Amino acid sequence: MSENKTPFAKVLGLLKSEDSAVRIETLETLSCLKLSDEVVDAVCFTITDADKGVKNAAVNFLTQCDDPRIPVKIAGYISSKEIEVRNLAGEILLKLGENAVQPLVDYIPIGDDDDKKFAVDVLGLIGSPDASPAILELMQTNDNENVLLACIEALGNLKAAEALDSLIDLFERNELFQPTIIEALGSIDTSESLQFVMSKYNAENEFLKFSIIESLGAIGDEETFFFLLSEVAETNSPLVWPLLKSIFLLKQKFNFDIPFDEKMRNSILNTLNEADAEYKKIATHLISAFDDKEIIFACLKIYGEDFEIDEILRDKFFQFPLIILQHISELLNQKPNNLKNLVGLVKELFEMYNSSGEEILTEIESRNLSDSITRCLENPDEEIRMLSIELLFSFDVEAALLFSDAIIEDNNVWNRLRLLDFLELVQHPKAEDLIKILANDPEEMVSERANSLISHLALAGQKTD
């Protein structure tokens, strides 16, 4: 007994040290085997420590130790008045997963309404069906709106089919909860939930209708799929965005074919031009059947907004590079927010064609594109300026040499150095003149590189003679 007391007493002393480094080291080296109640209390209390390093060490220890006393103790900290401590307790309980379910359930009757909501939120994220009875009982007995909303969301996350009747009853009694209840029913995938959601489709509230359509994408069947297709043909409002999303999800789920008619094309175009990223992402999955300029330009306008969308779009762009190269000057002249992405894309497309040696643009098309790119040489973004001069050298060397003065005066030394790389490859008197100008550059790296090129060119000229 005395042998056990000494190390525990020492640990308690170290955890209370004024030196945060000592507290951190203690937590990092502490074993979770056979800890006393006092040590468990002290370790849990370190999540209130003012030092961030101590808190991080505490989280690491508490989430890796399977001592059943820990989630019970940590659950009590969701009542903390300090938001950071409360959130840290929630993070630990979430990481403890199933081991935290019963302590959280047991804490629901203890805490106030804010605590109940917090506990239910964490239980919903953990996702254990064991929490469903307690959450359902709370929803049936509590009248706090925030608590009820948390219960509805959690029961949806838990796919609690036993809550269906109570959720439907609450739907009819309170309009405030209707969108959240519809979303929850969209997770409770039963024939009864589908039937109820479909029965509410003609709701006058457009926000509620958004939720209904999205839920149908999760729980719909073949009949739902064709119903939603018919709705696309009749819809001109933003409701077309969730309609496309749900149609796409059901297509993926059941391997259905989507009719790519003019109405579908216009709906996709509307979504690409107007919708949020979530819906644009769906629309990009549906563009494979269309190859007209309007669709491709709608895609170009959103290129660079979202990495996942970009990955999908790039496949489309490289299928139809001529449409882009022949007409993109119109878009570049508008100075869009994604100008850097577009110039970079044009550069890639030209590199692809240059490797084949194929002439792809007419003289007029080449001139239009060249004019658009030269305007980019004055752009405030140094990367756009560099991409632009590099692009000019790849398809219009005369224009590149003519407008290289802009890069010679560029305030970015790396751009001036890169220009020398291009000039080295061009056998033209103008290129030699530009190199000579850069030989007097105030930046030593640039002038040395330029003078080295001049010496190299002079030597090459002697050999030729």
pLDDT for res 5: 44
Q: Angle between the 293-302 and 262-274 helix axes, to the nearest 10 degrees?
A: 20
Could you give the 3-state DSSP secondary structure of residue 458? helix
Q: What is the CA 373 to chain-centroid distance, rounded? A: 31
| Structure tokens given for 442 | 């105030």
* Closest C-alpha among 422, 347, 415, 335 to residue 375: 335
Euclidean distance between CA atoms 441 and 431, whole angstroms: 16
DSSP assignment, residue 411?
S
- Alpha-carbon torsion, ordered 236, 239, 240, 246, to 10 deg: -160
Query: Residues 305-311: contacts with CB within 8 Å, 24+ apart?
Result: 305/277, 305/280, 305/338, 306/277, 306/280, 306/281, 308/281, 309/277, 309/280, 309/281, 309/284, 310/341
Cα–Cα distances in angstroms (integers) from residue 275 to residues 238, 284, 315, in the given order: 8, 12, 21
User: Are 98 and 68 in contact, with CB atoms under 8 Å apart?
Assistant: no
DSSP assignment, residue 171?
H
DSSP assignment, residue 77?
G
Splitting the chain (465 residues) into consecutive groups of 10 residues, what average pLDDT does each group show? 55 85 88 85 91 92 92 95 94 96 96 95 96 96 96 96 94 92 93 94 86 94 94 88 95 90 90 92 88 89 92 88 89 93 92 65 88 92 93 88 90 93 88 91 92 77 47
Q: Angle between the 339-354 and 321-332 helix axes, to the nearest 10 degrees?
A: 140
Cα–Cα distances in angstroms (integers) from residue 298 to residues 230, 331, 342, 344, 423, in the given order: 25, 10, 13, 17, 36
| Structure tokens given for 345 | 């894309």
Euclidean distance between CA atoms 4 and 11, whole angstroms: 11
pLDDT for res 9: 80
Q: 338 — phi, psi (to 5°)? A: -100, 30
- Alpha-carbon torsion, ordered 433, 438, 439, 440, to 10 deg: 110
For the entire predicted model, the pTM comes to: 0.78
Cα–Cα distances in angstroms (integers) from residue 413 to residues 237, 409, 445, in the given order: 51, 9, 8
* Closest C-alpha among 186, 178, 246 to residue 207: 178
Could you give the 3-state DSSP secondary structure of residue 154? helix
Q: What is the CB neighbour count within 10 angstroms for residue 230?
A: 9
Q: How many H helices and E strands in the chain?
A: 29, 0
| Structure tokens given for 252 | 């993926």
Q: Who's near 308: CB < 8 A, 6+ residues apart?
A: 281
